[in-house]
Amino acid sequence: MSSLSEALMTLSIFPYIYFLYVMHKVRKTHPEVINFTTYRGFHALIGFIFFTAGTGFYATQVLGAPTLGKVDWLHGISEAGLTITNGLVLLGLKRQLSELGK
């Protein structure tokens, strides 16, 4: 990965944190707009990011792999975290749509 793409990936956390902040403000004033499960799913994504950063460090610095993707078992655990966060967001959106249909 080039240094430019690495810098962009690193800087992309700031717009996401702003997104979480705005979502928090909206949920605080209008809780019916954003389902709680969706809200928690988007917040859990931050946990996934930190977990993946940690596993990436472990893969490259401790195990000596060129990237996290080269250590299948560790990469699989990390991707499972992303699957869980996506599932939370999806479940919350499904519940929100069900509530709107009532």
Q: What is the CA radius of gyration of the chain?
A: 17
pLDDT of amino acid 9: 82
Using DSSP's 3-state secondary structure scheme, residue 50 falls into helix
Whether the pLDDT of residue 75 is over 70: the answer is: yes
CA distance 56 to 49: 10
Count up the domains in the chain and report the number.
1
Backbone region of residue 64 per phi and psi (left: phi > 0; alpha: psi in -120 to 50; beta: other values): left
Q: What confidence category does residue 1 fall into, taking pLDDT thresholds of 50, 70 and 90?
A: low
Whether the pLDDT of residue 7 is over 90: the answer is: no
pLDDT of amino acid 62: 96
Domain that holds residue 89: 3-101
pLDDT, tens digit, 9 for 90 and up, residues 8-60: 888 999 999 999 999 999 999 999 999 999 999 999 999 999 999 999 999 99
